Amino acid sequence: MDKKHWHRRTNAVQAGIGSDPAYHAVMPPLYMSSTFAIDGIGHKPAYEYSRTRNPTRDDLAQALAELEGGVGACVTSSGMAALTLLLHLLGPEDLLVAPYDCYGRSYRLLCALAEKKHFRLQFADQYSPEGIAAMFEETPKMILIESPSNPVMRIADIGLIAEKASACGAWTVVDNTFLSPMLQNPLKLGADMVFHSTTKFLNGHSDIVGGCVVAGTKEILTDLEFWANSLGVIGAPFDSYMTLRGMRTLELRVHRAQENAGIIAAQLEAHPSVRKVYYPGLASHTGHEIAAKQQEGFGAMLSFELEGGIEAVDRFVRALSVFRLAQSLGGTESLVNHPATMTHVSMGPEARAKAGVTDELLRLSVGVEHIDDLRQDLEAALQAAS
Ligand code: PLP
Protein backbone atom coordinates (compact mmCIF):
# COMPACT_ATOMS: atom_id res chain seq x y z
CA MET A 1 0.00 0.00 0.00
CA ASP A 2 1.37 3.44 -1.01
CA LYS A 3 2.07 5.47 2.12
CA LYS A 4 0.34 8.45 0.47
CA HIS A 5 -2.90 6.60 1.30
CA TRP A 6 -2.06 5.86 4.94
CA HIS A 7 -3.81 7.55 7.82
CA ARG A 8 -1.69 10.35 9.30
CA ARG A 9 -1.22 8.39 12.52
CA THR A 10 0.42 5.61 10.51
CA ASN A 11 2.67 8.13 8.72
CA ALA A 12 3.76 9.56 12.08
CA VAL A 13 4.42 6.16 13.66
CA GLN A 14 6.29 4.83 10.61
CA ALA A 15 8.34 7.98 9.87
CA GLY A 16 11.88 7.03 8.83
CA ILE A 17 11.42 3.37 9.82
CA GLY A 18 13.36 1.02 7.54
CA SER A 19 15.56 3.77 6.10
CA ASP A 20 18.89 2.38 7.41
CA PRO A 21 20.87 1.06 4.41
CA ALA A 22 23.82 -0.21 6.51
CA TYR A 23 22.31 -2.58 9.12
CA HIS A 24 18.55 -2.37 8.44
CA ALA A 25 17.93 -0.99 11.93
CA VAL A 26 14.19 -0.70 12.43
CA MET A 27 14.49 2.74 14.01
CA PRO A 28 16.35 5.25 11.80
CA PRO A 29 19.88 5.92 13.05
CA LEU A 30 21.05 9.32 14.27
CA TYR A 31 23.70 10.81 11.97
CA MET A 32 25.59 13.41 14.01
CA SER A 33 28.43 13.81 11.51
CA SER A 34 28.88 17.34 10.15
CA THR A 35 30.67 16.01 7.06
CA PHE A 36 30.56 13.01 4.69
CA ALA A 37 33.37 11.44 2.65
CA ILE A 38 33.37 12.10 -1.11
CA ASP A 39 34.46 9.30 -3.50
CA GLY A 40 36.59 11.49 -5.75
CA ILE A 41 36.93 14.92 -7.33
CA GLY A 42 33.73 15.93 -9.06
CA HIS A 43 31.67 13.20 -7.39
CA LYS A 44 28.38 14.50 -5.93
CA PRO A 45 27.17 12.28 -3.06
CA ALA A 46 23.70 12.62 -1.52
CA TYR A 47 25.24 14.01 1.65
CA GLU A 48 28.31 16.25 1.82
CA TYR A 49 27.93 18.69 4.69
CA SER A 50 25.22 18.81 7.37
CA ARG A 51 24.29 22.48 6.99
CA THR A 52 23.17 21.66 3.46
CA ARG A 53 21.66 18.21 4.06
CA ASN A 54 21.71 15.66 6.85
CA PRO A 55 20.02 12.21 6.77
CA THR A 56 18.39 12.52 10.21
CA ARG A 57 17.07 16.00 9.44
CA ASP A 58 15.82 14.71 6.08
CA ASP A 59 13.88 11.90 7.84
CA LEU A 60 12.14 14.51 9.98
CA ALA A 61 11.51 16.86 7.04
CA GLN A 62 9.88 14.06 5.07
CA ALA A 63 7.69 13.05 8.01
CA LEU A 64 6.56 16.66 8.54
CA ALA A 65 5.77 17.09 4.83
CA GLU A 66 3.72 13.88 4.87
CA LEU A 67 1.76 14.97 7.93
CA GLU A 68 0.96 18.41 6.52
CA GLY A 69 0.38 17.20 2.95
CA GLY A 70 3.23 19.30 1.52
CA VAL A 71 5.84 18.59 -1.15
CA GLY A 72 8.72 18.92 1.33
CA ALA A 73 9.89 20.76 4.42
CA CYS A 74 12.83 22.66 5.87
CA VAL A 75 13.66 21.80 9.47
CA THR A 76 14.95 24.80 11.43
CA SER A 77 16.60 25.42 14.78
CA SER A 78 13.45 27.01 16.32
CA GLY A 79 10.00 28.28 15.43
CA MET A 80 11.45 31.79 15.20
CA ALA A 81 14.09 30.47 12.78
CA ALA A 82 11.26 29.00 10.66
CA LEU A 83 9.58 32.42 10.54
CA THR A 84 12.93 34.11 9.78
CA LEU A 85 13.49 31.63 6.94
CA LEU A 86 10.16 32.17 5.22
CA LEU A 87 10.39 35.96 5.59
CA HIS A 88 13.47 35.77 3.34
CA LEU A 89 11.14 35.07 0.41
CA LEU A 90 10.15 38.75 0.67
CA GLY A 91 11.97 41.81 -0.71
CA PRO A 92 11.92 45.47 0.44
CA GLU A 93 8.95 46.44 -1.78
CA ASP A 94 6.80 43.43 -0.81
CA LEU A 95 3.87 43.90 1.55
CA LEU A 96 3.42 41.42 4.39
CA VAL A 97 0.03 41.35 6.14
CA ALA A 98 0.07 39.82 9.63
CA PRO A 99 -2.51 39.48 12.41
CA TYR A 100 -2.38 42.26 15.03
CA ASP A 101 -2.67 39.64 17.78
CA CYS A 102 0.04 37.14 16.77
CA TYR A 103 2.53 35.50 19.15
CA GLY A 104 4.45 38.30 20.91
CA ARG A 105 7.93 37.28 19.70
CA SER A 106 6.65 36.93 16.10
CA TYR A 107 5.21 40.44 16.45
CA ARG A 108 8.58 41.72 17.70
CA LEU A 109 10.51 40.06 14.83
CA LEU A 110 8.12 41.36 12.15
CA CYS A 111 8.34 44.95 13.50
CA ALA A 112 12.14 44.83 13.80
CA LEU A 113 12.66 43.51 10.25
CA ALA A 114 10.11 45.93 8.76
CA GLU A 115 11.91 48.80 10.47
CA LYS A 116 15.11 47.68 8.70
CA LYS A 117 13.15 47.71 5.40
CA HIS A 118 13.31 43.94 4.77
CA PHE A 119 9.64 44.22 3.69
CA ARG A 120 6.62 46.46 4.23
CA LEU A 121 4.33 45.45 7.09
CA GLN A 122 0.63 45.89 7.78
CA PHE A 123 -1.10 44.47 10.86
CA ALA A 124 -4.69 43.46 10.20
CA ASP A 125 -7.85 42.24 11.87
CA GLN A 126 -8.24 38.91 10.04
CA TYR A 127 -11.46 38.00 11.86
CA SER A 128 -14.08 40.43 10.47
CA PRO A 129 -15.29 41.00 6.87
CA GLU A 130 -14.16 44.67 7.05
CA GLY A 131 -10.74 43.64 8.37
CA ILE A 132 -10.32 41.04 5.62
CA ALA A 133 -11.34 43.57 2.93
CA ALA A 134 -8.73 46.03 4.31
CA MET A 135 -6.03 43.34 3.92
CA PHE A 136 -6.45 43.46 0.14
CA GLU A 137 -6.76 47.23 -0.40
CA GLU A 138 -3.15 47.15 -1.55
CA THR A 139 -1.78 43.98 -3.19
CA PRO A 140 0.10 41.96 -0.54
CA LYS A 141 2.89 39.50 -1.33
CA MET A 142 2.41 37.38 1.77
CA ILE A 143 -0.39 36.93 4.32
CA LEU A 144 0.58 35.48 7.65
CA ILE A 145 -2.14 33.72 9.64
CA GLU A 146 -2.00 32.31 13.17
CA SER A 147 -5.14 30.32 13.83
CA PRO A 148 -6.01 29.74 16.63
CA SER A 149 -4.11 32.88 17.65
CA ASN A 150 -1.85 33.01 20.67
CA PRO A 151 -3.18 33.58 23.34
CA VAL A 152 -6.87 34.45 22.89
CA MET A 153 -7.58 31.74 20.34
CA ARG A 154 -9.15 33.90 17.61
CA ILE A 155 -10.00 31.87 14.49
CA ALA A 156 -9.24 33.14 10.98
CA ASP A 157 -11.07 31.60 8.02
CA ILE A 158 -8.00 30.11 6.30
CA GLY A 159 -9.81 28.93 3.14
CA LEU A 160 -11.47 32.31 2.56
CA ILE A 161 -8.27 34.33 3.07
CA ALA A 162 -6.18 31.89 0.99
CA GLU A 163 -8.64 32.16 -1.89
CA LYS A 164 -8.48 35.96 -1.90
CA ALA A 165 -4.69 35.87 -1.54
CA SER A 166 -4.25 33.44 -4.41
CA ALA A 167 -6.49 35.59 -6.66
CA CYS A 168 -4.01 38.46 -6.29
CA GLY A 169 -0.87 36.28 -6.43
CA ALA A 170 -0.06 36.46 -2.71
CA TRP A 171 1.24 33.57 -0.58
CA THR A 172 -0.75 32.46 2.45
CA VAL A 173 1.39 31.22 5.34
CA VAL A 174 -0.10 29.64 8.46
CA ASP A 175 1.51 29.21 11.87
CA ASN A 176 -0.02 25.84 12.81
CA THR A 177 1.83 25.49 16.13
CA PHE A 178 -1.27 25.53 18.37
CA LEU A 179 -3.03 22.61 16.69
CA SER A 180 -0.35 20.45 15.06
CA PRO A 181 -0.95 18.63 11.75
CA MET A 182 -3.22 16.15 13.55
CA LEU A 183 -5.93 18.80 13.99
CA GLN A 184 -5.46 21.19 11.07
CA ASN A 185 -3.85 21.01 7.64
CA PRO A 186 -3.67 24.56 6.23
CA LEU A 187 -2.21 23.41 2.87
CA LYS A 188 -5.38 21.43 2.25
CA LEU A 189 -7.38 24.60 3.00
CA GLY A 190 -5.47 26.48 0.27
CA ALA A 191 -2.41 27.87 2.10
CA ASP A 192 1.01 27.85 0.37
CA MET A 193 3.23 27.31 3.41
CA VAL A 194 2.79 26.09 6.98
CA PHE A 195 5.21 26.67 9.79
CA HIS A 196 5.55 25.24 13.27
CA SER A 197 7.42 25.69 16.44
CA THR A 198 8.19 21.94 16.69
CA THR A 199 9.29 22.75 20.24
CA LYS A 200 5.58 22.35 21.05
CA PHE A 201 3.13 19.56 20.16
CA LEU A 202 5.22 17.94 17.40
CA ASN A 203 8.14 17.10 19.68
CA GLY A 204 5.74 17.06 22.60
CA HIS A 205 8.10 16.46 25.53
CA SER A 206 9.50 19.96 26.25
CA ASP A 207 13.08 18.80 25.72
CA ILE A 208 14.20 20.41 22.45
CA VAL A 209 13.72 23.73 20.62
CA GLY A 210 12.97 23.42 16.90
CA GLY A 211 10.86 24.53 13.96
CA CYS A 212 9.92 23.79 10.37
CA VAL A 213 8.40 25.28 7.25
CA VAL A 214 6.38 22.92 5.05
CA ALA A 215 6.05 23.97 1.40
CA GLY A 216 2.99 23.48 -0.79
CA THR A 217 4.89 23.65 -4.11
CA LYS A 218 8.30 22.60 -5.48
CA GLU A 219 9.16 26.23 -6.41
CA ILE A 220 8.58 27.42 -2.83
CA LEU A 221 10.54 24.44 -1.46
CA THR A 222 13.52 25.19 -3.71
CA ASP A 223 13.60 28.82 -2.51
CA LEU A 224 13.24 27.80 1.14
CA GLU A 225 16.04 25.23 0.82
CA PHE A 226 18.31 27.83 -0.76
CA TRP A 227 17.70 30.25 2.11
CA ALA A 228 17.91 27.58 4.85
CA ASN A 229 21.34 26.54 3.55
CA SER A 230 22.52 30.11 2.95
CA LEU A 231 21.38 31.46 6.33
CA GLY A 232 22.26 28.28 8.24
CA VAL A 233 19.01 28.34 10.25
CA ILE A 234 18.86 24.53 10.05
CA GLY A 235 17.85 22.16 12.87
CA ALA A 236 20.47 20.00 14.62
CA PRO A 237 20.52 16.22 13.92
CA PHE A 238 19.99 15.33 17.59
CA ASP A 239 16.98 17.65 17.90
CA SER A 240 15.61 16.21 14.64
CA TYR A 241 15.99 12.69 16.04
CA MET A 242 14.19 13.64 19.25
CA THR A 243 11.36 15.34 17.33
CA LEU A 244 10.89 12.33 15.07
CA ARG A 245 10.72 10.14 18.18
CA GLY A 246 8.15 12.45 19.81
CA MET A 247 6.03 12.56 16.67
CA ARG A 248 5.36 8.83 16.78
CA THR A 249 2.90 9.46 19.64
CA LEU A 250 1.58 12.80 18.34
CA GLU A 251 -1.93 11.59 17.69
CA LEU A 252 -2.28 9.86 21.07
CA ARG A 253 -0.95 12.87 22.97
CA VAL A 254 -2.96 15.48 21.08
CA HIS A 255 -6.21 13.59 21.44
CA ARG A 256 -5.80 12.92 25.17
CA ALA A 257 -4.76 16.53 25.86
CA GLN A 258 -7.65 17.84 23.76
CA GLU A 259 -10.13 15.68 25.64
CA ASN A 260 -8.80 17.09 28.93
CA ALA A 261 -8.94 20.67 27.57
CA GLY A 262 -12.61 20.36 26.58
CA ILE A 263 -13.53 19.25 30.12
CA ILE A 264 -11.46 22.04 31.70
CA ALA A 265 -12.96 24.71 29.42
CA ALA A 266 -16.45 23.72 30.61
CA GLN A 267 -15.28 23.67 34.24
CA LEU A 268 -13.81 27.17 33.99
CA GLU A 269 -16.79 28.59 32.08
CA ALA A 270 -19.12 27.48 34.86
CA HIS A 271 -16.96 28.97 37.67
CA PRO A 272 -17.99 32.30 39.28
CA SER A 273 -14.35 33.46 39.66
CA VAL A 274 -13.78 33.23 35.90
CA ARG A 275 -14.85 36.21 33.77
CA LYS A 276 -14.30 34.72 30.32
CA VAL A 277 -12.96 31.53 28.71
CA TYR A 278 -11.37 31.47 25.26
CA TYR A 279 -11.60 27.96 23.81
CA PRO A 280 -12.77 27.36 20.21
CA GLY A 281 -14.66 24.24 21.32
CA LEU A 282 -17.11 26.30 23.40
CA ALA A 283 -20.31 27.37 21.63
CA SER A 284 -19.76 30.82 23.23
CA HIS A 285 -16.45 31.28 21.33
CA THR A 286 -16.71 33.76 18.45
CA GLY A 287 -14.72 31.51 16.12
CA HIS A 288 -16.49 28.26 17.08
CA GLU A 289 -18.24 27.69 13.74
CA ILE A 290 -15.20 28.36 11.56
CA ALA A 291 -13.05 26.22 13.86
CA ALA A 292 -15.55 23.36 13.58
CA LYS A 293 -15.41 23.69 9.78
CA GLN A 294 -11.65 23.90 9.22
CA GLN A 295 -10.18 22.01 12.21
CA GLU A 296 -10.38 18.33 13.09
CA GLY A 297 -10.59 19.14 16.79
CA PHE A 298 -10.44 22.14 19.09
CA GLY A 299 -7.00 21.48 20.53
CA ALA A 300 -5.44 21.54 23.98
CA MET A 301 -4.82 25.29 24.37
CA LEU A 302 -7.18 27.67 26.13
CA SER A 303 -7.12 31.01 27.91
CA PHE A 304 -9.29 32.60 30.55
CA GLU A 305 -9.68 35.82 32.49
CA LEU A 306 -9.91 35.72 36.26
CA GLU A 307 -12.00 38.11 38.34
CA GLY A 308 -10.04 40.06 41.00
CA GLY A 309 -7.11 41.69 39.17
CA ILE A 310 -3.43 40.79 39.14
CA GLU A 311 -3.46 39.88 42.87
CA ALA A 312 -6.01 37.13 42.21
CA VAL A 313 -3.88 35.93 39.27
CA ASP A 314 -0.84 35.71 41.56
CA ARG A 315 -2.77 33.79 44.27
CA PHE A 316 -4.15 31.42 41.59
CA VAL A 317 -0.76 30.63 40.09
CA ARG A 318 0.90 30.10 43.48
CA ALA A 319 -1.82 27.65 44.57
CA LEU A 320 -1.36 25.34 41.55
CA SER A 321 0.61 22.12 41.99
CA VAL A 322 0.04 20.07 38.81
CA PHE A 323 0.00 23.02 36.35
CA ARG A 324 3.41 24.73 36.34
CA LEU A 325 4.02 28.42 35.60
CA ALA A 326 6.34 28.31 32.58
CA GLN A 327 6.90 29.51 29.03
CA SER A 328 6.08 27.15 26.15
CA LEU A 329 3.25 24.72 25.48
CA GLY A 330 2.35 21.45 23.80
CA GLY A 331 4.25 19.08 26.11
CA THR A 332 2.81 16.06 27.91
CA GLU A 333 2.81 18.12 31.14
CA SER A 334 0.26 20.85 31.90
CA LEU A 335 1.56 24.44 31.97
CA VAL A 336 0.12 27.83 32.83
CA ASN A 337 1.38 31.07 31.31
CA HIS A 338 0.72 34.74 32.12
CA PRO A 339 0.97 36.29 28.62
CA ALA A 340 1.10 39.95 29.76
CA THR A 341 4.36 39.38 31.66
CA MET A 342 5.69 36.36 29.75
CA THR A 343 5.06 35.41 26.09
CA HIS A 344 3.55 38.77 25.06
CA VAL A 345 5.61 41.18 27.16
CA SER A 346 7.63 42.31 24.13
CA MET A 347 4.47 43.56 22.36
CA GLY A 348 4.22 46.61 24.63
CA PRO A 349 1.08 47.66 26.57
CA GLU A 350 -0.74 49.35 23.66
CA ALA A 351 -0.51 46.42 21.22
CA ARG A 352 -1.32 44.01 24.08
CA ALA A 353 -4.50 45.93 24.96
CA LYS A 354 -5.55 45.89 21.28
CA ALA A 355 -4.88 42.14 21.06
CA GLY A 356 -6.97 41.49 24.19
CA VAL A 357 -4.03 40.39 26.34
CA THR A 358 -5.16 41.77 29.71
CA ASP A 359 -3.31 41.46 33.04
CA GLU A 360 -6.01 39.00 34.22
CA LEU A 361 -5.51 36.65 31.27
CA LEU A 362 -3.96 33.23 31.86
CA ARG A 363 -3.17 30.66 29.17
CA LEU A 364 -3.27 26.92 29.80
CA SER A 365 -1.44 24.27 27.84
CA VAL A 366 -3.36 21.20 28.92
CA GLY A 367 -1.32 18.02 29.18
CA VAL A 368 -2.12 14.32 29.24
CA GLU A 369 -2.32 13.84 33.03
CA HIS A 370 -5.41 12.27 34.64
CA ILE A 371 -8.31 14.68 34.24
CA ASP A 372 -9.37 14.38 37.91
CA ASP A 373 -5.97 15.69 39.06
CA LEU A 374 -6.12 18.60 36.62
CA ARG A 375 -9.68 19.52 37.64
CA GLN A 376 -8.89 19.38 41.36
CA ASP A 377 -5.73 21.43 40.91
CA LEU A 378 -7.67 24.18 39.10
CA GLU A 379 -10.57 24.08 41.55
CA ALA A 380 -8.22 24.54 44.55
CA ALA A 381 -6.38 27.40 42.82
CA LEU A 382 -9.67 29.14 41.89
CA GLN A 383 -10.71 28.96 45.54
CA ALA A 384 -7.38 30.43 46.62
CA ALA A 385 -7.76 33.23 44.08
CA SER A 386 -11.27 34.31 45.09
N1 PLP B 1 4.61 30.49 16.97
C2 PLP B 1 3.86 30.29 18.07
C3 PLP B 1 2.36 30.29 17.96
C4 PLP B 1 4.47 30.11 19.31
O5 PLP B 1 3.71 29.92 20.41
C6 PLP B 1 5.90 30.11 19.39
C7 PLP B 1 6.58 29.93 20.69
O8 PLP B 1 5.98 29.94 21.74
C9 PLP B 1 6.64 30.34 18.22
C10 PLP B 1 5.97 30.50 17.03
C11 PLP B 1 8.15 30.41 18.27
O12 PLP B 1 8.70 29.14 18.45
P13 PLP B 1 10.13 28.85 19.15
O14 PLP B 1 9.98 29.21 20.59
O15 PLP B 1 10.35 27.39 18.90
O16 PLP B 1 11.14 29.72 18.47
Range of the domain at 38: 3-247
80 lines ligand 1 (CB under 6 A): yes
Same domain, 241 and 260: no
How much distance in Å is there from the Cα of 348 to the middle of ligand 1? 18
Percentage of the chain beyond pLDDT 70 is 100
Each residue's pLDDT tens digit, 215-255:
999 999 999 999 999 999 999 999 999 999 999 999 999 99
- Average pLDDT over every residue of 120-138: 97
- Phi, psi (5° rounding) for residue 312? -65, -40
209 lines ligand 1 (CB under 6 A): yes
pLDDT level of residue 3 (50, 70, 90 thresholds): confident
User: Of 247, 268, 291, which residue is a domain's last?
Assistant: 247
User: Of 218, 247, 276, which residue is a domain's last?
Assistant: 247
Q: Which atom of ligand 1 is nearest to the CA of 80?
A: 16
How much distance in Å is there from the Cα of 272 to the middle of ligand 1? 32
What burial class does residue 169 get, using C-beta atoms within 10 Å of its C-beta: 0-12 exposed, 13-18 middle, 19+ buried?
exposed
Same domain, 193 and 96: yes
CA 353 to centroid of chain Cα atoms: 23
Same domain, 204 and 324: no
Looking at this protein, which amino acid is placed at residue 4? K
Same domain, 109 and 135: yes
- 384: three-class secondary structure by DSSP: helix
How much distance in Å is there from the Cα of 175 to the middle of ligand 1? 9
Same domain, 241 and 275: no
Give, as one character, the DSSP assignment of residue 187.
G
So which residues are the catalytic ones?
Answer: 51, 103, 175, 200
Q: Are the CB atoms for 95 and 141 separated by under 8 Å?
A: yes
Q: Which pLDDT belongs to residue 303?
A: 98
Q: What is the mean pLDDT of the chain?
A: 96
User: Of 247, 271, 291, which residue is a domain's last?
Assistant: 247
What burial class does residue 136 get, using C-beta atoms within 10 Å of its C-beta: 0-12 exposed, 13-18 middle, 19+ buried?
middle
How much distance in Å is there from the Cα of 170 to the middle of ligand 1? 24
What is the Cα gyration radius of the chain? 21
Each residue's pLDDT tens digit, 328-358:
999 999 999 999 999 888 888 898 988 889 9
Same domain, 229 and 256: no
Same domain, 206 and 298: no
pTM score, two decimals? 0.97
Q: Which pLDDT belongs to residue 5?
A: 87
197 lines ligand 1 (CB under 6 A): yes
Q: Which pLDDT belongs to residue 68?
A: 97
Query: Residue 296 and residue 293: Cα distance in Å, rounded?
Result: 8
Length of the chain counted residue by residue: 386
Query: What CATH number did the domain enclosing 110 receive?
Result: 3.40.640.10
Number of domains in the chain: 2
What burial class does residue 386 get, using C-beta atoms within 10 Å of its C-beta: 0-12 exposed, 13-18 middle, 19+ buried?
middle
How much distance in Å is there from the Cα of 145 to the middle of ligand 1? 14
Q: Which pLDDT belongs to residue 223?
A: 98
Query: What CATH number did the domain enclosing 376 receive?
Result: 3.90.1150.10
- Average pLDDT over every residue of 28-48: 95
Enumerate long-range contacts of 346-351, CB under 8 Å, 24 or more apart.
346/104, 346/105, 346/107, 346/108, 347/104, 347/107, 347/108, 351/100, 351/107
78 lines ligand 1 (CB under 6 A): yes
Q: Which pLDDT belongs to residue 45?
A: 93
The helix or strand, by DSSP H or E, that contains position 67, with its residue range, turns out to be helix 55-68
96 lines ligand 1 (CB under 6 A): no
pLDDT of residue 2 exceeding 90, the answer is no
Same domain, 202 and 177: yes
- Phi, psi (5° rounding) for residue 35? -140, 160
Same domain, 298 and 223: no
Each residue's pLDDT tens digit, 49-99:
999 999 999 999 999 999 999 999 999 999 999 999 999 999 999 999 999
Q: Which atom of ligand 1 is nearest to the CA of 198?
A: 15
Same domain, 56 and 79: yes
Query: Residue 244 and residue 383: Cα distance in Å, rounded?
Result: 41
260 lines ligand 1 (CB under 6 A): no
Same domain, 187 and 281: no
Q: Please tell me the least confidently modeled range out of 188-202, 255-269, 344-358.
A: 344-358
Same domain, 25 and 98: yes
